[in-house]
Amino acid sequence: MLENFSFRTIVEYLPLFGQGLVTTVWLSALSFVGALVVGIVLCAMNLQRGWLFRAPAKAYIDAVRATPLLAQLYFLYFGLPRLGFVLPELVVGILALSLNSGAYIAEIIRAGILSIPRGQVEASVASGMTYVQRMRLVVLPQAFKVTIPPLLGQAIVLVKDSALLSLISVAELTRAGQLLASDRFMPAEGFVTIAAFYLLLYYCLKGLAVLSSRWLGTAGART
């Protein structure tokens, strides 16, 4: 039983957990920005008429969605040095999360853009707007509204996925728990504490998703 569950050790290790939490937060934030860039580019390619841009974007999205993130992470971790890029684990991790999440975000944005009624686009064409004006003034502002809640859902997934980076020894939150577990042979203390920290992050983002869907008057996020 857990009769000797040691809160004292947890307190002793709090600075380590704090560092891990901070790392998890900023590396997730950075990866999310990267994923947005990847997602927007993929989505733009996917919305083209010709197959030249569409086919590679579709193939990439399918490939990412049909394989596990862990395999993708190892692909980059063991594969990049092969191509002559010797990068720190942290950079490889952020790259993997961005490239993975980007594929999902591309689909979220696409669904948002496709949810705009055709009549709106036709009306803006009839008003003589250019493609850029149409996108900027008519399509994107409306798509934005539909896109925010699922994007926050994807952010939650990304934060949880970032735990996998501990497996290539990035010093984030899960790694901090592993260190406590292995240094002191206290797995309960280590893993219960990080689970609590992840829950904290989860409820923050979930609260944000609920609030945003209320403000925007859209359906809630699916996480």
Residues that bind another protein (CB under 8 A): 1-2, 62-63, 65-72, 74-75, 77-83, 160-164, 166-167, 174, 177-178, 181, 187-188, 191-192, 194-195, 198-199, 202-203, 206, 223
Name the residue nearer to another protein (CB basis): 84 or 128: 84
End-to-end CA distance of the chain: 34
CB-CB neighbours of 213 under 10 Å: 18
Alpha carbons within 13 angstroms on the beta-carbon side of residue 8 total 2
| Least distance from another protein to the Cβ atom of residue 162, Å | 8
| Least distance from another protein to the Cβ atom of residue 71, Å | 5
Tell me the C-alpha distance between 167 and 219, whole Å.
36
Cβ proximity of 10 and 191 under 8 Å: no
Cβ proximity of 191 and 130 under 8 Å: no
Name the residue nearer to another protein (CB basis): 53 or 191: 191
| Least distance from another protein to the Cβ atom of residue 74, Å | 5
Cβ proximity of 159 and 24 under 8 Å: yes
Name the residue nearer to another protein (CB basis): 28 or 147: 28
| Least distance from another protein to the Cβ atom of residue 164, Å | 6
| Least distance from another protein to the Cβ atom of residue 62, Å | 7
Name the residue nearer to another protein (CB basis): 39 or 190: 190
Name the residue nearer to another protein (CB basis): 163 or 216: 163
Quick check: helix, strand or coil at residue 130? Answer: coil
Name the residue nearer to another protein (CB basis): 124 or 193: 193
Query: 81 is written with which tokens?
Result: 């040095």
| Least distance from another protein to the Cβ atom of residue 167, Å | 6
CB-CB neighbours of 98 under 10 Å: 21
Quick check: helix, strand or coil at residue 63? Answer: helix
